[in-house]
Structure 1
Amino acid sequence: MTKTVNFRKLGRPSAHRQSLLRSLVTSLVKHENIQTTWAKAKEAQKHAEHLITMAKKASPKNNRRDLAQGMIFEPKSTLKKVFEVLLPRYSQRRCGYTRVLRLPPRYGDNAPQAILEWVDGSKDTRFHMTAKAVGVALAHNRDLHPMTQVNMEKVLMFRKNGRQEFDQLVEKAKQEELTRLQEEYKSEKEIEEKPWKRGDRVPLPKYV
């Protein structure tokens, strides 16, 4: 009977693979997000989710804290952040503490790239991208796309003080887009009013 393998081997033996995943999760705890290959990000995501679950179940009556400590390097600093920063952040969440986002393939070997990040963290990519999308839509007086509305609900559901921070980012994105539109309009006006001569160089658009 063929045995089913429920994890990626990542081209490494067991000990090397476990060390790699511990290193990735340690970097994730320290820096809030990491960029790596898609396969490594998906495997490290499992360990990061398991780390938070273990930390939530930790108590003086069991060994969950010791198990969580064995899942990362530099436990004196990283484990302290897990219990003092990450656990309060995810106290209302039952699961889904991390997110994996695809990136363009890596130049050279065309390996699939990805970003692994903590949800509701300081470097939450979806939170910032959604705020920018809302700000651009408001600057153009457009209705929000249904997917943008869904993303707004997701990023604000469990984030503490999320609405205030989100509104600030939206206003910043709106002002940046209005400034860009004004500069673009001014540039087009100058091009229209300029007395062109044969052989003059045509300026490229600002967004190129």
Structure 2
Amino acid sequence: MVKYINRIVGKDAIRLNKMMTSFIEHESIVTTRKHAKRVVERFDQIVNTAKRQGVTPDAYRVYQKTLNDLPNSVKKIQEILLPRYQSRNGGYARMLRLEPRLGDNAPQAVVEMVDGNKEYKFWMAARVVARLRQQGLPVDSKTKAQVQQVTQGSPERADKFEEAVKEMTERFYPVPEKIQGSGPLPKKAGSGGKGYKHCPPPKML
């Protein structure tokens, strides 16, 4: 593999093209942090190119070097992504760190589009709030800060967040009693009222 400044060639280029095509289609991917940084940088380049040049031959050459599924990807860029990021000057994607991958312990990250339909941080914050509400617990200061960050002080984003909390409640916590850690352990037959199975004393030899 040969690397140049701001240029990726060889197998890394093929892998990056596949990731970029999948990222534009699904608006979020999970990969290693090294590749996640490349996806964020390349996505900013694609959106800025689309803003400046649209679907001109020069812009199409950039798309051709970066994307595999050109017709569908270019169509989504022009019809969905450009109107979404028209008022934004940069930072169209964000990278969130995850726990290391099992097996090789490689550092992982999730890459998601800003203001996209699948904001990882947005939905995870909604899930935490849904669990706390079902448990009857107050929302801690750290979670409040995350909610403020994902809603950005916008009433529309706040309404969308409440809808996400309801969806997370219905999907993961429909019955408060079944939330792990929300109550005492269930009683079992022969436990004498305790939360564990009764075991007879060992026989003395």
- When the two structures are superposed, what TM-score results if normalisation uses the length of structure 2? 0.72
Q: What are the within-5 Å matches in structure 2 for residues 117-136 of structure 1?
A: 117-136=112-131
Q: Which residue number in structure 2 is paired with residue 199 of structure 1?
A: 199
Superposition deviation, residue 177 in structure 1: 4.4
Structure 1: unaligned runs, 5 residues or longer: 201-208
Whether contact under 8 Å (1:120, 1:155) holds in the other structure is no
Residue equivalent to 1:145:
140
Q: Give the residue type in structure 2 aligned to 1:107.
A: L
Aligned partners of 2:138, 2:102: CA distance in 1, in Å? Answer: 37
Aligned residues: 192
2:19 aligns with 24
Q: Which residue of the partner structure matches residue 52 of structure 1? A: 47
Q: Which residue of 1 aligns with 2:99?
A: 104
Q: Is the 8 A contact 1:49 1:95 kept in 2?
A: yes
Query: How many percent of aligned residue pairs carry the same amino acid?
Result: 27
Call closer, same or farther: CA 1:159–1:46 in 2, change over 3 Å.
farther
1:179 aligns with 2:175: yes
Which residue type is aligned with residue 115 of structure 1?
V
Q: Distance in 2 between matches of 1:186 and 1:149?
A: 24
CA RMSD, Structure 1 to Structure 2 (Å): 3.6
Gaps of 5+ in 2: 201-205
What TM-score do you get using the length of structure 1 for normalisation? 0.71
In 2: Cα distance, 1:80 partner to 1:163 partner: 30
SS in 2 for 1:105: coil
Please name the residue that 2:65 is paired with.
70
Counterparts of 2:154 and 2:100 in 1: how far apart (Å)? Answer: 31
